[in-house]
Amino acid sequence: MDDARKIKRTATGTCPVSRAEDGIWQVRGYAEARAVLRAHDTVQAGLGIETVEKTPAKIRRPVLYRDGPEHREHRRQTARYFTPRRVDEHYRGLMADIAERHLAGLRAGGSAELSDLSFGMAIDVACAVIGLTESKPGIRRRLERFFPEKFGRPGFTSLSGLYWMGRQIQSWGSIYLSDVRPAVRPRRREPRDDLISHLIAEGCTDAEILGECLTFAAAGMVTTREFICVAAWQLFSDETLLKRYREAEEPERLAILHELLRLDPAVARLRRRTTAELELPGDVTIPAGEVVELLVDEANADERAVGAEPLSACPGRSLDGGAGPAVLAFGDGPHRCPGAGIAILETDVFLTRLFALPGIRRATAPRVGFKDAIGGYEIRGLTVTTG
């Protein structure tokens, strides 16, 4: 079978729903996974929830870790920052300027590491959406330090634990002092039309705004950084697809990008805990209080939903069951990614300019790292050159 994925993953089974030895339910069927994500009797159980659970109860949790009516109300109130119209009218021009700025270095120097360019792009776009626009120089270094390639476990009982504890506190502190506080202060005096101003109007404290900004950094910047790299890698290695991408109008280019994200989802492990019995298609009932893991890469390749040759790149393929073009790569239900339209457009704005550079080619083979907890990947060492 043709396998166009750049991130090679092994299927964990064939059954749409099963229960692993550790008691965690695993869902790999599309219809079943979507039913879990759309269910209201569940709460977030993945993407770093353990860190958030340690924070005092009186601190309001960031959007990703809230559930129920208050979460839905927050999503309803902030939806205006993410509508297609807003993306088109407010962010499109900005994305073009940001892409030009980051590609200027490549134009001048002749080569660059793609993950540096894509991180710069993803940071600047997400910062504009959030309202983090008064940062001191060095935001990228601060974020790199906050999301290192390798994590150690913080704690008081070993030298390494103490090192990671100190490092975590220092990272939070530096992002607060250099990025969040300088953005919050002027907006407390005079609100603007952005997310931070909305959070201030809601009565959020600086600590709560910091938590929300860091959630956006993880959910919006880190994911988009990796997706831009994987999509470029795909296109560099498939001449026919690249030709099609270069010649296509925007809607077809976006369809190509959605299909590439379906194949290589940047977040492939989502988790929920059931708060009541949950009935899934196929007569499966998951009891209350169970942890359910959604295997997004497998659900995205479920032939019942995406048709034959599920691992080949076939943009515009006909999808069953009302699936979106990236299937579950942006999640579904109440927590569905609000930034999906932003992520796809900024990737396109960046890649159309990258692939328009005369002589552009991939100079080195990238190395792939894995973030097992979220089923994510990290693409490093993909150097692009115009020489």
Residues in contact with ligand HEM by the rule CB under 6 A: 44, 46-47, 63-64, 75, 126, 129, 216, 219-220, 223-224, 227, 266-267, 270, 329-331, 335, 337-339, 342-343
- Tokens, residue 16: 């749409």
When the beta carbons of 24 and 363 are compared against ligand HEM, the nearer one is: 24
When the beta carbons of 156 and 369 are compared against ligand HEM, the nearer one is: 369
Least distance CB 158 / ligand HEM (angstroms): 32
> 153 φ, ψ to 5°?
-95, 120
Least distance CB 125 / ligand HEM (angstroms): 7
When the beta carbons of 167 and 273 are compared against ligand HEM, the nearer one is: 273
Percentages of the chain per state (helix, strand, coil), in multiples of 5: 55, 10, 35
For 179, the 3-state DSSP assignment is helix
Neighbours of 132 (CB within 10 A): 25
When the beta carbons of 329 and 349 are compared against ligand HEM, the nearer one is: 329
Least distance CB 165 / ligand HEM (angstroms): 27
Neighbours of 366 (CB within 10 A): 21
What CA–CA distance (Å, rounded) separates 30 from 262?
Answer: 12
- Tokens, residue 270: 């989502």
Least distance CB 353 / ligand HEM (angstroms): 18
When the beta carbons of 204 and 342 are compared against ligand HEM, the nearer one is: 342
Q: Which residue is nearest to ligand HEM (CB)?
A: 339
Place of tokens 């001048």: 108
Tell me which DSSP letter residue 135 carries.
P
Least distance CB 323 / ligand HEM (angstroms): 14
Tell me which DSSP letter residue 373 carries.
G
